[in-house]
Amino acid sequence: MSEQIPNAFVWPMRVYYEDTDANGVVYHARYLNFFERARTELLRAHGINNHSVQEEHRLVWAVLDIQVRFVRAAKLDDELLVSAELSWKKGVRQGFRQDMHRVADGELIATAELSAAMLHADSLKPARMPAWLEAKFKNDK
């Protein structure tokens, strides 16, 4: 059993048939979907709506790199808790840490560390995170 990231946002998920291979084990690429959903819900929990940020402020996020460490297999019908935390910010880049635990036994399933960049939606050129957006993350710490 492994501890979750302290003070991180946690989002519950369940493994569906569509997430698995023929053996009922989560297909490796689907873990990226689970991590993405948790990051999106992290933003929502901080009052940030991706659609509004793009439409009203003409900004988008793009993942620059991601490292996933697979520890245990998640299987069909597993309930999972997926955490997400903004762990650092430097210039136009932000780093996120995530982990995934199985509810039934608390086992660590996978971890992810990634960096993302904020971009101007029209040109896709790098943009600094606006102060109002940064403040939304700081208010909940």
CA distances from 83 to 113, 116, 125 (A): 11, 17, 29
Q: Is 78 a catalytic residue?
A: no
Structure tokens at 69: 């460490």
CA–CA separation, 16 vs 36, rounded Å? 16
Instruction: Give me the residue label for tokens 């245990």.
Output: 72
DSSP 27: P
Instruction: Name the active-site residue from 21, 78, 122, 140.
Output: 21
List, by residue number, the catalytic residues. 21
